[in-house]
A and B are shown apart, each in its own frame.
Chain A
């Protein structure tokens, strides 16, 4: 039986539903293109309650997380939200995640729905005695508000002055009177927020529903299809497609998450070894001249097969087929011309550095007042 989120009642009335990571989730409400463009031009809301949410607290919470991830934890100031990775002993990526440091002894760990169980097992195996990681996933809701107008949409509901919450910061506040954690993070490339509403439960989802419906008055509800096309266009990897346990941070082109000089975390030996040489292949962006690349398509260079498309689709902004791919390091220079086998028809393509849109016009770095 599929799990549902607190907002399921709304979705069944308004969305085309799909199974994702054991949950019944909205795939789209109207069309993927309209929802995608709403986020790039105004603001959109996503039910991301399926994502795993773990609370790690106590005086040993900081040291525990410090040993768990390649990014420095205890040197981060309270109120910081940061992207990092869970690695296995070989340096392979078990999951990518956001850690919200609420206080020196209290953290919210947000992970991919599809990996939540694996992550929990990984953490529990390493947890010191008498210390607990609490799974808050089913006792809370999580809504992402994304786009250049996200702040205008969320501010009337939030006690917190959102102008004071900078990018990759988090704070505890109230949203429509509900206890909430708000972080200025997201998975679209745009400015925006992720709001964890707790206190509500699956039996009493009224608080989460009120928050969603109020936001829906000023933001466009978006499904998983637009969530995927937006993250792809922003060049953000999807665990399970673009990165996985066979990908180390260097191969994933995510080596910036490894804090300089940090040792002693799970996988640190393998990571240190990987740092001494170029990876054989590396994650890159790809723009096709014609056609749409899809997961698994082969990439050919002058020397034959040089890589594989790990996720592909169509960019509504540049109106071309785009992809993330793994390509041989020797073929990974930006601007390198390759060809992609689109159902036996080779199509010209260029290796690029994502995001795929013009950052002066779209995304959180855009010039304001346009």
Chain B
């Protein structure tokens, strides 16, 4: 699942792992700093939950789902470049225990819809 703001979300047993897409990482060019919520913080769908920063720019990260943070990728403190190297793998940001996934899922894009969004962006 994806957001229009270029986050991805992967659910497993009610816990959703969140990151930014390869497109978002490439647009930032090189991520040098990441701020994330803390474990037990509450996040809300479509609300800012952190930032991903390059040397030149800041990009806000919008949570794809509402819930409570269960894990934060602390590896990014010392290796923020993982967001560029492996945006869908080692560069994940947080894991959230989703509180309203059944409803909120409707507000997210599937892979096909996200690819369609990217192709319109790349055309412009």
Residues of A within 8 A of B (CB): 16, 27-28, 31-34, 36, 225, 228-229, 291-292, 294, 313-314, 316, 321, 343
Interface residue? B114 (CB, 8 A): no
In the complex, the 3 A-B pairs of residues with the closest C-beta atoms, listed nearest first: A31-B30, A314-B32, A314-B55
- Least Cβ distance of B24 to chain A in Å? 15
Q: Pick the contact of A292: B30, B58, B84 (CB < 8 A).
A: B58
With both beta carbons as reference points, the residue of chain A lying nearest to B81 in the complex is identified as A33
Q: Is the CB of B33 within 8 A of A36?
A: no
Q: Is the CB of A291 within 8 A of B32?
A: no
Q: Is the CB of A291 within 8 A of B33?
A: yes
Q: Pick the contact of A229: B33, B51, B55 (CB < 8 A).
A: B55
Q: Pick the contact of A228: B56, B58, B84 (CB < 8 A).
A: B56
A316 to B33, CA, bound (A): 11
- Least Cβ distance of A218 to chain B in Å? 24
Q: Pick the contact of B53: A31, A36, A292 (CB < 8 A).
A: A292
Q: Is the CB of B56 within 8 A of A32?
A: yes
Residues on B with C-beta less than 8 A from A31 are: 29-30, 84
Residues on B with C-beta less than 8 A from A228 are: 56
A259 to B54, CA, bound (A): 40
Q: Is the CB of A32 within 8 A of B30?
A: yes
Interface residue? B99 (CB, 8 A): no
Task: Known contacts A291-B35, A292-B58, A294-B58; decide if A28 and B53 are in contact (CB<8 Å).
Answer: no
Residues on B with C-beta less than 8 A from A16 are: 29
- Least Cβ distance of A255 to chain B in Å? 30
Q: Is the CB of B58 within 8 A of A32?
A: no
With both beta carbons as reference points, the residue of chain B lying nearest to A36 in the complex is identified as B55
A292 to B59, CA, bound (A): 12
A33 to B30, CA, bound (A): 7
Q: Is the CB of A229 within 8 A of B56?
A: yes
A28 to B27, CA, bound (A): 11
Chain A binding site: helix, strand, loop or mixed by DSSP? mixed
Chain B: how many interface residues by the 8 Å CB criterion? 12
Residues of B within 8 A of A (CB): 29-30, 32-33, 35, 51, 53-56, 58, 84
Q: Is the CB of B55 within 8 A of A33?
A: yes
Q: Pick the contact of A32: B29, B33, B35, B51 (CB < 8 A).
A: B29
- Least Cβ distance of B85 to chain A in Å? 11
Residues on B with C-beta less than 8 A from A225 are: 29, 55-56
A314 to B32, CA, bound (A): 8
- Least Cβ distance of A288 to chain B in Å? 10
Residues on B with C-beta less than 8 A from A294 are: 58
- Least Cβ distance of B80 to chain A in Å? 10
A31 to B28, CA, bound (A): 10
A343 to B49, CA, bound (A): 12
- Least Cβ distance of A346 to chain B in Å? 14
Other A-B contacts than A16-B29, A32-B29, A314-B55, 14 sampled, CB-CB below 8 A, are A27-B29, A31-B29, A31-B30, A32-B55, A33-B30, A33-B55, A225-B29, A225-B56, A229-B56, A292-B32, A292-B53, A313-B56, A314-B33, A316-B55
A242 to B54, CA, bound (A): 20
- Least Cβ distance of A31 to chain B in Å? 4
- Least Cβ distance of A317 to chain B in Å? 11
Q: Is the CB of A343 within 8 A of B30?
A: no
With both beta carbons as reference points, the residue of chain A lying nearest to B27 in the complex is identified as A16
- Least Cβ distance of B59 to chain A in Å? 12
Residues on A with C-beta less than 8 A from B33 are: 291-292, 314, 321
Residues on A with C-beta less than 8 A from B51 are: 343
A307 to B84, CA, bound (A): 34
With both beta carbons as reference points, the residue of chain B lying nearest to A345 in the complex is identified as B35
- Least Cβ distance of A16 to chain B in Å? 8
- Least Cβ distance of A292 to chain B in Å? 5
Q: Is the CB of B55 within 8 A of A313?
A: yes
What are 29 A-B pairs with beta-carbon distances under 8 A?
A: A27-B29, A31-B29, A31-B30, A32-B29, A32-B54, A32-B55, A32-B56, A33-B30, A33-B32, A34-B30, A36-B55, A225-B29, A225-B55, A225-B56, A228-B56, A229-B55, A229-B56, A291-B33, A291-B35, A292-B32, A292-B33, A292-B58, A294-B58, A314-B53, A314-B54, A314-B55, A316-B32, A321-B33, A343-B51
- Least Cβ distance of A240 to chain B in Å? 16
Residues on B with C-beta less than 8 A from A32 are: 29-30, 54-56
Residues on A with C-beta less than 8 A from B58 are: 292, 294
With both beta carbons as reference points, the residue of chain B lying nearest to A232 in the complex is identified as B55
